[in-house]
Every structure is written in structure tokens, then in C-alpha cells.
Structure 1
């Protein structure tokens, strides 16, 4: 997974039209903690990963379950052709919505 490095998190937040409290609470960070990150403090890798998933990839992490992840990992490693096919169909389905 590509981690968010050297990005302007304040700019991401502003583009999404969110205040600090709303933006950071979606990934379990307090407003004051988020403010420190926006002011230049380094962001820990787990927080970077959550930031990427929630605010860049727009994934609702509250809907992800461990067994969902396990199925994806199984398909990716053991059934790569099926995984690629399903991924393609999912993208087409999302565009139709």
C-alpha cells in the first residue's frame, strides 16, 4: 500500500471542505493532534495509511471487516485472474451508479 508522504494534509482537508475536527475524527485523531500534523509535525505511518484510505481513496473504514480483507488477499494471491476480472467489473459497476 502506498503511504501518503510529503503531502499537504491541510490542502486535502480544505479541498474536501471539512473543518479540522470532522476531517481528523474520521480517522481517530483529535482536532489538536490533526492541527499539529497540519503544522508540520511528522505523521505516523498508521495515520498516513488511514488518511489515504479515508480521505484520498474515499473508503468507509467502518464497513471493512477482517474477513473481507482476507477474501481480497486470498483472491489476489491465489486466484489472480479472478481478482483482476472482479476488480474490472467492480469499476464498471461503480461508474454505472
Structure 2
């Protein structure tokens, strides 16, 4: 999937990214700090908030792993998002 910006990520694009990564919902969404249930809603068409779209883009499009489980990791994600 060729995405240029995080604004192109909607539920269908997120699902396609997950399928291309060969991951189940739980693992895919947990990697960016989102529950499986919420990820399911996003894939079903619920609007994905900008911070979540940014994390999806960084992790699954740009290939930059971001640890959202720590304060340092969350700060790094915010810095990377600001650079883009």
C-alpha cells in the first residue's frame, strides 16, 4: 500500500496495513497502544483520530517502531510526528 501521509489512513487502509503485516487485530493495534476493540471499531469505519493515524503511519508505513508504552517512547512519537 502506497500512502504518502497519515491523513490517507482510514479504517479500510488500516485493515489493509494490518493484513499486509500479517497480524491479527490484537497484536497490530497493541503495538501502537490501542485496544483490539477500539481497533475493530476503526477498521469498521469509525473515524481514526489524528494521533492514532500518525502512529499507524510511523509504525506501519515509515517503518519507525515507536514504543507507546513508556513516557520516553510517547515523547519520541510526538517528536517524530512534529518533524513530518
The TM-score, its normalising length taken from structure 1, stands at 0.60
Farther off after superposition, 17-26 or 7-16: 7-16
CA contact (8 A) 1:4 1:52 kept: no
Structure 2 gaps of 5+ residues are: none
Structure 1 gaps of 5+ residues are: 74-97
More helix by share: 1
Higher Cα Rg, which structure? 1
More RCO (CA 8 Å, sep 6+)? 2
Distance 1:27 1:53 in 2: 10
TM superposition outliers: structure 1 runs of 4+ over 6 Å: none
Distance 1:56 1:13 in 2: 11
Q: CA RMSD in A?
A: 2.4
Aligned positions of 1:1-97 closer than 5 A: 2-7=5-10, 8-62=13-67, 66=76
Give the number of aligned pairs. 68
Distance 2:35 2:8 in 1: 20
